[in-house]
Chains A and B, each alone.
Chain A
Amino acid sequence: MNEIMNTMNDMTKAEQHERDIASSVLARIDKEAIAPTPRWHFLLHDGVVWSLGGVAVVLGALSVAAIIFTGRYSDWEYYEATHENLTTFAFEVMPYTWIFALALFGGVAYLSIRHTKRGYRYPLPMLLLGAVGASTVLGAGLYGVGAGPLVDEELGRAIPLHRSLKETKIGFWNQPERGVIAGVVDEIGTDGQTVTLRTLRGTETISISGLDSTTREAIEVGSALRVLAPREVAVPPPPRPVAAGESADAAFSMTAPMTAEPLRAKSTERIDLEMSDDHGGDTDRALREACLIIPLDWERGFRPRDDDGEKEDGHGKRNDDDDLRRKCLDELRNERKERLKEWRAE
């Protein structure tokens, strides 16, 4: 009987304690005039979190567009001419800025989704893959509408230390000593067998006598070109004809043949790069003979023309171009091997 009474007393005490806590909580709510935080506050929080996630996915998509653009137009097919090997080439053209940006915005998107009401229920890999996947799909779409070069050039300009693909390529296509030259045609020799290119490092006179007549005729003053010229030619450069175009001191501007045959200047774009101080200082360089000339499109981020080689007879001409490129690259490689052998012998 006593046990039952004690148990009942304990229960009553516990119930009393519960009521005490309830009373003290309600008293404190009254005393401190505590009120539930308004609903709009939570809705705003949700809105901010989702918006932040959305913005991060879009910014990640812009990065993806730039990555695709860089990957596609980095001129990997000429890496044997421009670099020692594929590794050095890959290190140089790697779009570090955009890869870092994608990782950063992927992380921000992950954190945003993680802080939504149900975001915690999904594992990290799933959220990260989801965020980066959404950026990739959207980025591919943005690339399709031409956002890639715009992002890499225009948006990239606002990012410190960013080096656009165009700037990178201007760098590695200016190695005349390796037979790799890019520039604007300044003069065409009177005999039509040589062209003088204005490059970032000065002027280069190149023999084009080894090229077929169609290609030679397509070259005009003002055309922007990339040239592979493995061989040094023994003959001195022909006398300079009357100079055409602007003075050498003018800012470096190039024209961009888009789709036309012959390689005709269509528009002029000012490149935000200054000529080097040694402009014109390399004119004594031995004459080089071009084995391949590739049109250069500054406006579209150094891209080759989309219809290059496929316009007239589909893939057949593309194969011809590939053969020509292969042959020229082999020649370039053999030339280097020879020079290396000579250097070792000395």
Chain B
Amino acid sequence: MKEGGGSARTSERDAMDASGIQSDVEVVQATLAHKDSFGELVIRYEEKFRRYIRRLGIRNEEDQDDVLQEIFIKIYRNLNGYDQSLSFSSWAYRIAHNEAVSHHRKRTVRPEGHAIDDGDEVIALSGSGDDLMEELAAKDDGRLLGEALNRLDPKYRDVIVLRYFEGKEYEEIADILLMPVGSVATRIFRAKAALRGLLARTLTV
């Protein structure tokens, strides 16, 4: 399984980069001084969070807009509680994750299905040397993976999405899901086994 894939994608602008772009922490501080700066954080994270909550099963675009708005409002309300020793991205993802879970609870329905629309992601997930995954990739069939993820226990689906679709490191996942790093590793291992089992059944049918 690919390790650390996409970490660059999710590496945050927590520190001022050479181009002079403000870090997330600086934008947070600016927002606390003047709320209009918050728009910058929304723009930075809107697309990431939309993709993330879609992967967690919120596929309707209007629902996504509603959930996104709630996520950003909660982030804004809790800005003073942000612990700067933590990555802002992890902290914000935690809120996004909780809001998506809360949305599902309110609906009291199963997620509407998981949007697996990125062939690279399927390949990334299958890059474990696992025959089954390679077979799946060879079939170029993200739909099967999406269906399998849809049937996966939510606690396993969360770590699979964060690790292989959001490209988060173990420590980041621990900070997002509020669990020990060791438990993240164990859960990913079990999630892959469960997913493999589901895919095996799908392919043999």
Binding site for B on A (CB under 8 A): 14, 17-19, 21-26, 28-29, 34-39, 41-42, 117, 120-123
Contact = CB atoms under 8 A, between A and B. Distances in A.
Size category of the B interface is 20 to 34
23 contacts: A17-B46, A18-B42, A21-B42, A21-B68, A21-B72, A22-B39, A25-B39, A25-B42, A26-B36, A26-B38, A28-B69, A34-B77, A35-B77, A36-B77, A36-B80, A37-B78, A39-B80, A41-B81, A117-B86, A120-B174, A120-B180, A122-B180, A123-B182
**Which of B32, B46, B68, B182 is packed against the most chain A CB atoms within 10 Å?**
B46
A129 B38 CA distance: 43
A26 B35 contact: yes
Contacts of A37: 77-78, 80-81
Contacts of B179: 120
Nearest to A127: B180
B200 interface: no
A28 B78 CA distance: 16
Contact of A42 (B43, B81, B181): B81
Contacts of A38: 80
Q: Per DSSP, are chain B's interface residues mostly helix, strand or loop, or mixed?
A: helix
A25 B180 contact: no
Nearest to A40: B80
B65 interface: yes
Contacts of B83: 117
Contacts of B80: 36-39, 41-42
Interface in B59-94: 65, 68-69, 72-73, 76-81, 83, 86
Interface of B: 32, 35-36, 38-39, 42-43, 46-47, 65, 68-69, 72-73, 76-81, 83, 86, 174, 178-183
Given A14-B47, A21-B69, A28-B73, A36 B78 contact: yes
Q: Per DSSP, are chain A's interface residues mostly helix, strand or loop, or mixed?
A: helix
A24 B64 CA distance: 14
B132 to A, nearest CB: 31
A35 B31 CA distance: 11
A117 B175 CA distance: 10
B128 to A, nearest CB: 26
Contacts of A18: 42-43, 46-47
Nearest to B82: A42
A97 B77 CA distance: 44
